[in-house]
Amino acid sequence: MNYETIIGIEIHCELKTKTKMFSSAPNSFAAQPNTQVSPVDMAFPGTLPTVNKKAVEYAIMASTALGLTIDDTLIFDRKNYFYSDLPKGYQITQQQRPIGRDGSLEITIGGQKKTIRIERLHMEEDTAKQLHFNDYTLIDYNRCGVPLIEIVSHPDIRSGEEAAAYVEKLRSILLYTGVSDVKMEEGSMRCDVNVSLRPEGSKKFGVKTEIKNLNSIANVRRAVDYEVERQKQILLSGGKISPETRRFDETSKQTVLMRKKTSAVDYKYFTEPNIVPIHLSADWIKKIKDNLPELPDARKERYRQMGLNDYDAEVLVVDKDFSDFFEEVVVVCQQPKLAANWMISSVQAVLNKLGTSDLGSLKFGPAQLGQLIKMLDVGKVSSKQAKELFEDLVLTGKDPELLAKEKNMVQISDDKQILAWVKEVLEKNPQAIETYKNGRTNILGFLVGQVLKLSQGKANPALVSQLLKEEIEK
């Protein structure tokens, strides 16, 4: 029997606000444990939540970027349960009225576009971080109360590849809005994937399992692929899928059981009475929407209009820092196509070698690369020289003009000098002129080579070619 894979994804993102969701304690990732804590975060009796306006603004930005409709009344709910990482005994979240509803994003799989619908985006607070040891647990309340948005997709995803593409696209969009660091490895973006199978043609959903805490986009794909295969084998051998929470084990590349999902927990949701409903004015929402930074799809379109092809545009926008770097290069060299080639081949190769995506680890900046491309473009250096210079740039980060001067490799574009070399070569090769005049014009390449050789590689090839033609055809 053939099975259809059904996947829905829930993503939690920490917002980059200065303070927490409901308290004035700082929101910072790397601080000493239990130093970024207010009485509100510890749920000391009598403390009350106050809503962080910036977090609401960020949630509206994220919602807008994902095409969600904004609810203009802000209402929070309590999700009640006892856990050692939950100081109040409840989490403040948005159950009934998420701030954003009904949006979507587009992924591209093998050149084919596919729309994944997004059900909701809601705001909530993070729990404390627990460090488990053999016979005790330590609790770090720094993370407690950090603002989160949770983004829930419809079950529109059909494969591990699509799942990874969805997470990557979502990550890229959020990165462009600037509301979150979206670092999966640091936990500022967390991904839970629900996977189930159903016989092809069936309308009913099968029993799903949830894979929690995937720490990279590559692992999203690996985990889903593994889980789909695991479920398929069980179903094919006549077994049943049991509803459970699983995690992805990186060493074995398998999903492993965390806990069985027993009868659904009742969280006893009810409206948070300490926060009266807040009306969000249309003006304020509009202002936030109008100030939304450019998103990846819009940027891609702009790149196409700059003359880049689909592939280059796509590759450039995925990582916002990479794309921003590219734009600064273009500002200096004014040659988008050339700049794109250098970014995608040369710069990416350097980053790969360094094993990082952090452009800050490069010794040179966009201005220097732009300068180098410009030198190439105006014929100051040949492309062979430019490549050599780039290698020096990577090693030293020095000004390319300076590097070229040091290497004495500035290209000669002086008409008189080149003409002298051209004449010298033509005098030595009279038969070549005949050949050319008889129609075999490709002999020109040989002649250009001779001139360059004479100039020790410094003559501007385009100029050489032009002057050669003029001399022969005189």
Distance CA 425, CA 429 (A): 6
Site for other proteins in 269-328 (CB under 8 A): 270, 273-276
Report if residue 75 touches other proteins, rule: CB under 8 A.
no
Report if residue 147 touches other proteins, rule: CB under 8 A.
no
449 φ, ψ (degrees, to nearest 5) = -55, -40
How many Cβ atoms sit within 10 Å of the Cβ of residue 373? 24
- For other proteins, the closer of residues 37 and 220 by Cβ is 37
385 φ, ψ (degrees, to nearest 5) = -65, -40
Site for other proteins in 26-45 (CB under 8 A): 39, 42-45
Which range touches other proteins (CB under 8 A), out of 88-96, 289-297, 374-382, 427-435? 88-96
- For other proteins, the closer of residues 84 and 441 by Cβ is 84
Report if residue 51 touches other proteins, rule: CB under 8 A.
yes
- For other proteins, the closer of residues 55 and 220 by Cβ is 55
CA 322, 324, 328, 333 dihedral sign is: positive
Distance CA 76, CA 276 (A): 9
Q: Is 249 helix (H, G, I), strand (E, B) or coil?
A: strand
Distance CA 456, CA 462 (A): 16
- For other proteins, the closer of residues 43 and 258 by Cβ is 43
Report if residue 266 touches other proteins, rule: CB under 8 A.
yes
CB of 265 to other proteins, least distance (A): 10
Site size with other proteins, rule: CB under 8 A = 29
Contacts of 264 by beta carbon, 8 Å cutoff, 6+ apart = none
- For other proteins, the closer of residues 144 and 459 by Cβ is 144
Let me know: does 90 contact 79? Beta carbons within 8 Å.
yes
Which range touches other proteins (CB under 8 A), out of 2-10, 217-225, 268-276, 417-425? 268-276
- For other proteins, the closer of residues 1 and 264 by Cβ is 264
CB of 95 to other proteins, least distance (A): 12
Structure tokens given for 218:
């590559």
91 forms bridges with which residues in the sheet? 79
Structure tokens given for 37:
């804590």
Let me know: does 210 contact 248? Beta carbons within 8 Å.
no
Q: Which of 90, 166, 248, 342 is in the footprint of other proteins by CB under 8 A?
A: 90
- For other proteins, the closer of residues 135 and 185 by Cβ is 135
Report if residue 137 touches other proteins, rule: CB under 8 A.
yes
Report if residue 439 touches other proteins, rule: CB under 8 A.
no
**What torsion do the CA atoms of 332, 337, 343, 345 make, to the nearest 10 degrees?**
-150
Let me know: does 372 contact 386? Beta carbons within 8 Å.
yes
Q: Which residues bind other proteins (CB under 8 A)?
A: 39, 42-51, 78, 80, 82-84, 87-90, 137, 139, 266, 268, 270, 273-276
